Amino acid sequence: MNVLITGGAGYIGSHGALAFMDKGHKVTVVDSLINGSKKLIPKNCKFIKSDIANEKKISKLLKKNKFDVIVHYAALTSVPESIKFPRKYYNYNFFKSKKFINICIKHGLRKIVYSSTAGVYGNQIGKIKETDLLKPKSPYAKSKLKFENFLKNLYKKKQIEFMILRYFNVAGADKYLRSGLIQNKGNLIKTLSEVAIKKRKKITIFGKNYETKDGTTIRDFINVNDLSNMHVIAAEKIVKTTNFKSQIFNCGYGYGYTVKQIIDSMQMIIKNKINYEFGPRRKGDIEYSVSNPAKFKKKFLWKPRFNNIKVTLKSALAWEKKIVGGNFRK
């Protein structure tokens, strides 16, 4: 396949690019580098520095290349930031993405795998199915849901075919440490890794009186390597299938950990104490978020390979050491 990836200089997008290339697919990355890093873009893929809404640059790219599928990762993703700057999030995650897809349709590129979020479900107890009620809390999640609905309307008009992947909490680093998370906008496992190697003194746990076993929030953490492979599976399916019936899939493991459990696991790995403090609940945070991944597993006979939380934590820790040690390509 010839794959067009947006946001391929970001954390998840760069892992996606690596996964497609590892399977022998041709990859072109489009990224503005506003949030991404050129260091994370795989060496042997084509890179176009451009905003996704730059019609002149995107049109030029589409005229010169015949792509089989779009994998649309590009987005602003911080929940706390979205609460401070909601217009910024709607502008990028909806309006710019909408313009980008319309440009692609104009040039005959109509198959898309879209990077969405479990945040569209809001706070729900139990394992969440794709058919469950949608009640997003943050502007980030609302902007992603708005774009999902845009894709659904295009599909009804027979203008596109899509696969929407709703991520639960993505964590870890590439299995060969070729990529990982650079920017830290409140990411739990990255912050933990920074504390573990003494890059920072302590971690703040936001909220200690949730109705969970230890009072802290519960999340379903999916390893970024498994998530990336799910994108490859999705893209291969949508490209190979004529008149594909567009669908939505959860991306998670079906079990969750509290923040305190994650801290305890890291302490076991490093055999040392992690310093932490409690802070107030953050606006927009969800108490409980655990997937029901049965639909994707059944459809594609998918079996996760990296679903041990200690494997995920160890990879994040190794990546942080690599960054601090300067052993990261320029």
In a domain, 202, yes or no: no
Residue corresponding to tokens 């590439």: 174
> Are 137 and 86 spatial neighbours (Cβ–Cβ below 8 Å)?
no
pLDDT tens digits, 41-52? 999 999 999 999
Q: What is the pLDDT of residue 283?
A: 87
Q: What is the pLDDT of residue 121?
A: 97
Q: With a cut of 80, say whether residue 326 has pLDDT above it.
A: no
> Are 255 and 220 spatial neighbours (Cβ–Cβ below 8 Å)?
yes
Q: Give the phi and the psi of residue 203 in degrees, each rounded to 5.
A: -115, 145
**DSSP per residue, 85-131:** -HHHHHIIIIIIHHHHHHHHHHTT--EEEEEEEGGGG-S-SSEEPTT
pLDDT tens digits, 194-207? 999 999 999 999 99
Q: With a cut of 70, say whether residue 284 has pLDDT above it.
A: yes
Beta bridge mates, 276: 203
In a domain, 233, yes or no: yes
The pTM (predicted TM-score) of the whole model is: 0.95
In a domain, 78, yes or no: yes
3-state SS, residue 10? coil
Question: Is the CA virtual torsion 130, 136, 141, 145 positive or negative?
Answer: positive
Q: What is the pLDDT of residue 127?
A: 97
Instruction: For residue 330, name the pLDDT band (cuts at 50, 70, 90).
Output: very low
Q: With a cut of 90, say whether residue 269 has pLDDT above it.
A: yes
Active site residue 276: no
In a domain, 231, yes or no: yes
Mean pLDDT, all residues of the chain: 96
In a domain, 156, yes or no: yes
In a domain, 227, yes or no: yes
**DSSP per residue, 44-86:** TSEEEE--TT-HHHHHHHHHH---SEEEE------HHHHHH-H
**Of 206, 239, 193, 174, the residue nearest 3 (C-alpha):** 239
pLDDT tens digits, 59-82? 999 999 999 999 999 999 999 999
> What domain range includes position 146?
2-171+221-251
Q: Tell how strand 218-219 and strand 257-258 pair up.
A: antiparallel
Q: CATH number for the domain including 167?
A: 3.40.50.720
In a domain, 244, yes or no: yes
pLDDT tens digits, 120-176? 999 998 999 999 999 999 999 999 999 999 999 999 999 999 999 999 999 999 999
In a domain, 16, yes or no: yes
The tokens describing 108, both together, are 């005959």
List 11, 90, 92, 140, catalytic entry:
140
How many domains does one find in the chain?
Answer: 1
Fill in the DSSP letter of residue 40.
Answer: G
Q: Which residues contact 106 (CB under 8 A, 6 or more apart)?
A: 59
